């Protein structure tokens, strides 16, 4: 009788274990450009129900306060030029934790579908039976210039904008930058600081020496720095101000909007002083 009871109990325990096992799922979440307040409500909700969170170096760590307190946190980004995990290892980790823990949230800076490898990770996870979902984020390509009063489009100045990676997976400069340099559009270059002299050379080749350029480092954060010049002067400005990655490079007439607004503000203050 006792042996029968033990067998029934073991069977019940095994059945409950199978029933309670969580469905493996990957949600790729955009953390926004850096400011912790620029994350979406939907992203916060995903963090609150995560079982595991894999996050990158560009993610503001204040956002981890939203994570389910019982979730496992794993840093998978790059710091001081050193990778904690290679991309293949991250893919494998997503699948392994999905099957062992349930809901994996992959938290990425900016928007995960704009040079964020979010699509690649979802494809890999889906191939191993994980459900997949994405929560878009506010892209640094638009938000960081906006934080410095630089619109990527403006009537009469720019009818379109390009967002280009400065460095391809082969660690070469993107061919698209040469095409973009021929355009009158706003050009936003991500991950381009390592190739900046080459990028500037392409614009000079097209006779764009006087085109305004802004370089914004650590955009939307308390560490934000900006250098503004032209194609011909920006390299010297970068050196003088010690600008470096992570930074966004903006080429185009829209860069002048920042100065225009500043001048309007000064004129308004001067008028107020005259009235007093």
- Which are the catalytic amino acids? 56, 78, 191
What span, in angstroms and rounded, lies between the C-alpha atoms of 228 and 214?
Answer: 4
> Within a 10 A sphere around the Cβ of 133, how many other Cβ atoms?
13
Q: ∠ CA 25-26-27 to the nearest 5 degrees?
A: 120
Parallel/antiparallel/unpaired status of strands 78-79 and 186-190:
unpaired
Token pair for 25: 């799922």
* DSSP characters over 3-72: HHHHHHHHHHHHHHHHHHSPPPEEEEEE-BSS-GGGS-HHHHHHHHT-SEEEE-TTS-GGGGGGS-TTSE
Contact 249, 199 (CB under 8 A): yes
């Amino acid at each position: 009788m006792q042996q029968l009871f033990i067998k029934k109990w073991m069977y019940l325990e095994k059945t409950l274990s199978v029933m309670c096992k969580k469905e493996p799922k990957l949600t790729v979440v955009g953390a926004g450009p850096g400011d912790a307040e620029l994350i979406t409500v939907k992203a916060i909700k995903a963090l609150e129900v995560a079982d595991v969170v894999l996050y990158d170096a560009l993610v503001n760590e204040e956002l981890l306060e939203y994570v389910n307190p019982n979730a496992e946190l794993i840093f998978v980004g790059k710091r001081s030029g050193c990778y904690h995990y290679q991309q293949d290892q991250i893919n494998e980790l997503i699948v392994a934790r999905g099957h062992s823990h349930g809901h994996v949230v992959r938290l990425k800076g900016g928007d995960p579908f704009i040079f964020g490898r979010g699509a690649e990770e979802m494809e890999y996870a889906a191939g191993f039976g994980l459900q997949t979902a994405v929560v878009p984020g506010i892209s640094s390509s638009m938000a960081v210039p906006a934080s410095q009063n630089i619109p990527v489009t403006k009537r009469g100045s720019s009818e379109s904008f390009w967002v280009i990676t400065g460095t391809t997976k082969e660690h070469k400069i993107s061919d698209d930058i040469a095409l973009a340099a021929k355009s009158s559009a706003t050009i936003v270059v991500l991950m381009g600081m390592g190739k900046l002299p080459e990028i500037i050379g392409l614009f000079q080749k097209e006779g764009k020496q006087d085109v305004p350029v802004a370089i914004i480092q650590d955009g939307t954060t308390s560490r934000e720095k900006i250098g503004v010049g032209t194609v011909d002067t920006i390299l010297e400005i970068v050196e003088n101000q010690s600008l470096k990655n992570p930074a966004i490079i903006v080429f185009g007439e829209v860069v002048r909007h920042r100065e225009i607004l500043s001048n309007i503000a000064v004129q308004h203050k001067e008028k107020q002083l005259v009235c007093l």
